[in-house]
Chain A
């Protein structure tokens, strides 16, 4: 039965919220109705979903959802919330009704839930508790208990049980998202029955702090999990990360059931012989590896292999199709953009050097990387499946229609993570929509051209500017002081 739910989100990575939810909804084919238009300034959605099971499915995947609540009342203030609930107890119509007071024109706050939601919790055999949560304002335990006491009119007959009760009721007060400007009274208050928590716990469980093997550019746990959701990873899928590095994306994808392959040009990284990343660690431990990471989280059986290879050259069988390609290519800033090659002509290697030869590398520009990546995805993705990748750019230069594109791939999501005042990276999600695969040449005007140069030049400019500004301030101060002392002398 369709019911009304409150989805409460973590108020971070706000630009990813809609994309992650859409990916989950479409992956499980869940229809949704918005009761209130989502707004980035509010960390919640008020929606209708076909059943409680659907809510649980969403919560089982989302890392941005904090919790989901079956909504009983949504009001402007505490008093109105209690009024609404008192009327709701008598609302036997089986549906939400509007109770429009004469002096109140806002329909959002005067909707009355059907009584059956409440009576379903009144069974004397069902234990319960009430949780109070306030967003952007702190209350003492005493104050919270007072707020709970105000619900004493509810006909709840079961015993109160604070640990693992049958029913958890949830009262939420929302004081906006600006911690420097917290109002006296909340903007919105909500009451309802808790259904499920999202996957926020996973962020701690997968934290890089406790991961065995990490590199300088390991993706943090939360973003890796979001990427796996963007890729709509399901149990039994096969997935590839062609710039695998230390394998953070494989861990997240493996958690949701994918079997994973990775490849990387960096031999030392795949063999975990690169310099250690952690402060104070001198040498890599023996058991550090991508496979070891999978083992650490108990998903070793979903590890297929990693292969040392140069992504600019073909390696996989032409007819191999992946269910997902998830990757974070090097941007040329913290990890070099390289492929095998040499500028010298007619270069040859003698046999005696061949055995332990480390090939020289040349620049593998970002436009080339993304062109190869999209062409690769167009060929090697299963129809309807997804490529998820990061794309670095200078914020001022961003134009949506200049993002990498391919006729076989449709851009379905595009979320920004700001890196600095001037730079950002965008998480791009493409879905394969056509199967006849033209190989597209590299677009020489691609936006990511020379990201590295721009990144460092801009850094330098701001640094220089800052220096000049500081110098100007100091000289102004010095002049001021000089004048001051002059002034004192005269007086």
Chain B
């Protein structure tokens, strides 16, 4: 699971959970894989992100190094900034671990890089 995905996921499917965001990350295996840098795409995705959530998520798994805490107002022209955002958004991958709902504490496992957001039949009744 990439951090761009984490930035968009919620656990509001759970009964009684209002926003279910952001999910906490517990990672037991994180890997870095190289992904082609595409500044246009990164520029386009930045306005869709919750930057604070991204920064905290990166920090919680030990990969916030060099990532600014706030968005540079002229980020489109700042290649250095875009490259850092690119790395954190697309290259850092949580392979094994789990996501935790901030309201209920329900855990969702991540295995082989794929989060499992399924509930049990008892939870959807």
Contact = CB atoms under 8 A, between A and B. Distances in A.
A, B co-complexed? yes
Contact of A310 (B40, B111, B119): B119
Contacts of A314: 10, 12-13
Contact of A342 (B1, B12, B125): B125
B21 A309 contact: no
B118 to A, nearest CB: 6
Given A238-B45, A307-B5, A321-B48, A316 B118 contact: no
A359 B120 contact: yes
B4 interface: yes
A261 interface: yes
14 contacts: A236-B38, A236-B41, A267-B118, A271-B112, A301-B90, A305-B4, A306-B114, A307-B1, A307-B117, A316-B10, A321-B48, A340-B118, A342-B125, A347-B122
B81 to A, nearest CB: 18
A347 to B, nearest CB: 5
A348 B118 contact: no
B35 A301 contact: yes
A261 B5 contact: yes
B115 interface: yes
B116 interface: yes
A313 B90 CA distance: 26
Contact of B120 (A267, A307, A357): A357
Contact of A320 (B44, B48, B118): B48
Given A321-B48, A357-B120, A271 B114 contact: yes
B114 A307 contact: yes
Given A236-B41, A238-B45, A315 B117 contact: yes
Interface in A352-380: 354, 357, 359-361
A265 interface: yes
A112 B21 CA distance: 68
A317 interface: yes
B121 to A, nearest CB: 4
Closest 10 CB pairs of A and B: A313-B13, A301-B36, A342-B121, A309-B117, A305-B5, A308-B116, A301-B35, A236-B41, A349-B122, A359-B120
Contacts of B119: 310, 313, 340, 359
The residue in B48, B113, B119, B120 that gathers the most chain A C-beta atoms within 10 A of its C-beta is B120
Nearest to B116: A308
B24 interface: no
Interface of B: 1-2, 4-5, 7-10, 12-13, 21, 35-36, 38, 40-41, 44-45, 48, 50, 90, 111-122, 124-125
Contacts of B125: 341-342, 345-347
Interface string A315-328: 11100110000000
Nearest to B45: A238
Contacts of A300: 35
Contacts of B12: 314-315
A304 B4 contact: yes
Contact of B40 (A236, A317, A357, A359): A236
A317 B10 contact: yes
A305 B121 contact: no
A342 B124 CA distance: 9
A307 B38 contact: no
A267 B5 contact: no
A313 B15 CA distance: 11
B82 to A, nearest CB: 13
Interface string A231-254: 000011010000000000000000
A322 to B, nearest CB: 10
A354 B109 CA distance: 12
The residue in B1, B8, B12, B35 that gathers the most chain A C-beta atoms within 10 A of its C-beta is B8
Given A301-B35, A307-B5, A317-B8, A347 B48 contact: no
B118 A359 contact: yes
A236 B120 contact: no
Contacts of B5: 261, 304-305, 307
